[in-house]
Structure 1
Amino acid sequence: MTSQEILRQAFPDKSTPLISYGLPFTEACVKHVNGTFKASRVYLIASASLTKDTTHTFDLQKVLASRLVKTRVGMTPHTLISEVLEIVQECRDMEIDCIVTLGGGSLIDGAKIASFALANNVQTQADLMTLPRLGPHTANLPALPSKIPIICIPTTLSGGQYTVFSGVTNNITHEKVQFSSPLASPSLIILSGPLACSTPLEIWLQSGMRGVDHCIETLSSLKSTDEVDQSVLNSLKCLIPGLLLSAKGQANGGEGEEKARLECQIGVSYAMLFLHRRVACGASHGIGHMLGPMGKMNHGQTSCILLPAVCKFNAKHSTSNPEVLERQKVIEDTLWGIAEARNLFERMGLSKEESDLGDLIEAVVKGLGLKSRLREVGVGKETFESLAEASLRDPFLVTNCIPISKKEEVLEILEMCA
């Protein structure tokens, strides 16, 4: 089953997001701006680093020509509410009829929430907080659906382009809020191996580990389904080899590297079915939502650090629920069945008999040359209390396969990855 077929299943009652690849991203974008969306007033949100270090933003500006009304270069990581409100006001004043993003997850989240906010006449932060968001009393708040179409040209593997959820960060508290349906996903997603190769390797690999985190926490969930499991397993089989090939330079550059990165992008599209089937993530995501803004790191970094520890926590506390270990065993067997991963595990002295899922995930992180400890990114134990308290307010703690409701449980995970 192709990733486009996966998306058709995910959006049975809505217009399915289109996935485009094969054409140069500039050609694909202008084709759909003119034809599919018949847009005449485009707002472009472009990556600051991409704009500074490459010609890709200029190339896109050139082909959009007179249809391009405004280019915003860059957003603060984790998508600050203040910046979203700036975009909303500019789009309203300029009568924008299409938003295009060229870059990573923070830009995508910003565009998704901006379109949602515009549909609901949001003017202030207080207005924004009246919209539906994840939480026991806020998910069903009344709101109009997003209207302005979004074309997403991703340069990382965060996967937010495939979801009807989007997170923003409170400027003052640094806590993240997750908005939800009827917020809409982008209408068109343009994948490009050549464009992806412009993303610095470390950023690419970190965002890829975010995709792996989606897969592992989905497969760990006791509420997943056979359909979702199969889609996510397909994702792992694309992501793990593609990431390891990129990290070790075995793609030999040129077309080989472009192919490896495109394979990762396609893998991410398989991974995201879980959100549309309402299979919730777990503690790696929940704690990571708070660790990211507080620790000033991207969510790929939080996944590298937290996911192995969460896997070990789940195994340790699974005595009353053997299904947790059964599902971990399926993931372990899948990872050992991927040739590139198996070679890595064997080089690191791991064995199928003695190594647990946390060991395997940590091996992948180290094999990619990424950091796997909080101390390595400057997060000390003095922050653990406040981080644990904030994490308990995230809904993904209670949807962890071993539900977490106590500060001591979060602190146990943090100590594992200190």
Structure 2
Amino acid sequence: MALSLLPSSGSYLCTPLRAVHWGPGSVSNLPTVIRSLVSAYDKTAQPKALIITGKTLLEKTPVIGDVRKMLEKVGMFGGVFSEIGQHAPIKQVKAAQRLAEDNKVNVLVSVGGGSPIDSAKAIAYFIHESSGSEHFMPHIAVPTTLSVAETTQNAGFTNEQGQKAGVNHPDNAPRAIIYDANLAMYTPLRLWLSTGMRAVDHAIETMYRDGAPPQVRHMALFAIKGLFEALEACKRNPDDVKIRQNCYLVAWESLWPLARAGALGLSHALGHKLGATYGIPHGICSVLTLPETVKLMSRNLQGYDLACLATAHAFLPPTYQGSVDKLGLDASTGSEEAQRAAAHQVGEAVALLVKTLELESTLKEYKVPKEDLESIAGKVDGSKPEGAPYKKEQIIDSILTKIY
């Protein structure tokens, strides 16, 4: 973007993240990371870790068994809670909290997708509330999907009414992350690719998220390029561990650690209302909502936000750029008409990527009643940030009706 368009002031607020390890086999760093984090606030404490995960990883893969053996070998094993389901039901989160308190653990290790990771964040939050401790219990995230929940301070879960809820605190983000592609090889391809679309959603919505620092937007541009290329490559070669490792790294760039609260944008806001209520996986929510959301944004955004989204066009692989006139890396120098055309093509490119990855879906497929569309739009509209560039009627006509 042109220097004249960059914000003249702003802030980058860091999360408590202290370490990121990546590469096949990097989970072997776990005992060292645990010891470092526990000793940071109590040098005399013996590390004792509770593993937070789901049934599938425990029962159908060797992943949790291997992590358990590693921790048992060094005397750090404090239990496994494997009941975390999709969208992290609060009943399961609270049960895990009780186990953590009963077992007197002092570190949490989440292994899995967004639900175990968000659950561990929520557990740390609730323990902090109930104990009155000065510190949040440290949390190490070991993702096996591309949801990138590990970089945020938000902890989403499903409340007793079946609605998306959550807690948020600057100290709630994991202290360390381990991206080990050997573990990712056990993740089914469709799940892996759909969570990759969630990462695409992060990167693109960062382009127009109010208050996103320019440095983070610039990083998201490279994440867009990397994700399109890596997800396509993974679709062609699902058993290539190097490609899966690359997917992790570009997904990490899509939601760079930044202390912030709330949904990234309209696509995420819609996903929050659709996911838990209708049992739609996080990644599929993005598959459904992102293409048409970007097209709507291409018509409604103004100024710097429009220029950022238009610039994303230049970072698409050539086969996704369509017939739009190339604006180059500095899309802000083009006319408003040219910017809107480039931004619209980003939405078309996302739709094409969804098709290429064979992830196409509809709200009808997930049994969302058509009569619910207005109430869904109303809930999103009612909780939107001040000055958001969309209206309830546009959510219905330009997005929900089209994806039904």
Q: TM-score, normalised by structure 1?
A: 0.80
Matches within 5 A, 1:391-402: 391-394=380-383, 397-398=384-385, 402=389
Q: Which residue of 2 aligns with 1:416?
A: 402
Matches within 5 A, 1:6-17: 12=14, 15-17=16-18
Contact between 2:12 and 2:213, CA under 8 Å: does it hold in 1? no
Q: Which residue of 2 aligns with 1:362?
A: 351
Contact between 1:221 and 1:279, CA under 8 Å: does it hold in 2? no
Q: Which residue of 2 aligns with 1:74?
A: 83
Contact between 1:218 and 1:280, CA under 8 Å: does it hold in 2? no
- 1:283 pairs with 2:301: no
Q: Which residue of 1 aligns with 2:60?
A: 53
Q: Which residue of 2 aligns with 1:19?
A: 20
Q: Which residue of 2 aligns with 1:151?
A: 140
CA deviation profile, 1:236-267 (whole Å, cap 9, x unmatched): 23222111101122x7x3xxx21111112111
Contact between 1:30 and 1:64, CA under 8 Å: does it hold in 2? yes
Matches within 5 A, 1:218-229: 218-221=206-209, 223-229=211-217
Q: Residue 68 and residue 144 in structure 1: after superposition, are their counterparts in 2 closer, same or farther (change >3 A)?
A: closer
Contact between 2:23 and 2:245, CA under 8 Å: does it hold in 1? no
Contact between 1:25 and 1:153, CA under 8 Å: does it hold in 2? no
Q: Residue 198 and residue 145 in structure 1: after superposition, are their counterparts in 2 closer, same or farther (change >3 A)?
A: farther
User: Per the alignment, in what secondary structure is the counterpart of residue 151 of structure 1?
Assistant: strand
Contact between 2:38 and 2:138, CA under 8 Å: does it hold in 1? yes
The one-letter code sitting in structure 2 at the alignment partner of 1:268 is: A
How far, CA to CA, are the matches of 1:244 and 1:83 in structure 2?
35
Alignment: residue pair count: 368
Q: Residue 168 and residue 367 in structure 1: after superposition, are their counterparts in 2 closer, same or farther (change >3 A)?
A: same
How far, CA to CA, are the matches of 1:182 and 1:317 in structure 2?
32
221, 224, 241: which one pairs with 1:236?
224
Q: Residue 399 and residue 232 in structure 1: after superposition, are their counterparts in 2 closer, same or farther (change >3 A)?
A: farther
CA deviation profile, 1:180-208 (whole Å, cap 9, x unmatched): 22442111111111111211100011111
User: Per the alignment, in what secondary structure is the counterpart of residue 71 of structure 1?
Assistant: strand
Q: Residue 400 and residue 57 in structure 1: after superposition, are their counterparts in 2 closer, same or farther (change >3 A)?
A: farther
The one-letter code sitting in structure 1 at the alignment partner of 2:227 is: L
187, 200, 209: which one pairs with 2:197?
209
Q: Unpaired segments of 5 or more residues in structure 1? A: 1-8, 123-142
Contact between 2:21 and 2:178, CA under 8 Å: does it hold in 1? yes
Matches within 5 A, 1:126-205: 147-172=136-161, 174-205=162-193
Contact between 2:16 and 2:174, CA under 8 Å: does it hold in 1? no
The one-letter code sitting in structure 1 at the alignment partner of 2:82 is: V
- 1:296 pairs with 2:303: no
Q: Residue 272 and residue 197 in structure 1: after superposition, are their counterparts in 2 closer, same or farther (change >3 A)?
A: same
The one-letter code sitting in structure 2 at the alignment partner of 1:30 is: P
Identity among equivalent positions (%) equals 26
How far, CA to CA, are the matches of 1:400 and 1:288 in structure 2?
20
User: Per the alignment, in what secondary structure is the counterpart of residue 286 of structure 1?
Assistant: helix
CA deviation profile, 1:43-87 (whole Å, cap 9, x unmatched): 111232122221111111111114222211131211112211111
How far, CA to CA, are the matches of 2:12 and 2:242 in structure 1?
26
How far, CA to CA, are the matches of 2:386 and 2:54 in structure 1?
33
Q: Residue 20 and residue 399 in structure 1: after superposition, are their counterparts in 2 closer, same or farther (change >3 A)?
A: farther
Q: Unpaired segments of 5 or more residues in structure 2? A: 1-10, 40-45, 326-340
- Alpha-carbon shift at residue 26 of structure 1 (Å): 4.2
User: Per the alignment, in what secondary structure is the counterpart of residue 51 of structure 2?
Assistant: strand
Q: Residue 185 and residue 175 in structure 1: after superposition, are their counterparts in 2 closer, same or farther (change >3 A)?
A: same
- 1:381 pairs with 2:353: no
How far, CA to CA, are the matches of 1:62 and 1:403 in structure 2?
51
Contact between 2:58 and 2:65, CA under 8 Å: does it hold in 1? yes
How far, CA to CA, are the matches of 1:21 and 1:385 in structure 2?
44
CA RMSD of aligned residues (A): 2.6
- Alpha-carbon shift at residue 274 of structure 1 (Å): 7.2
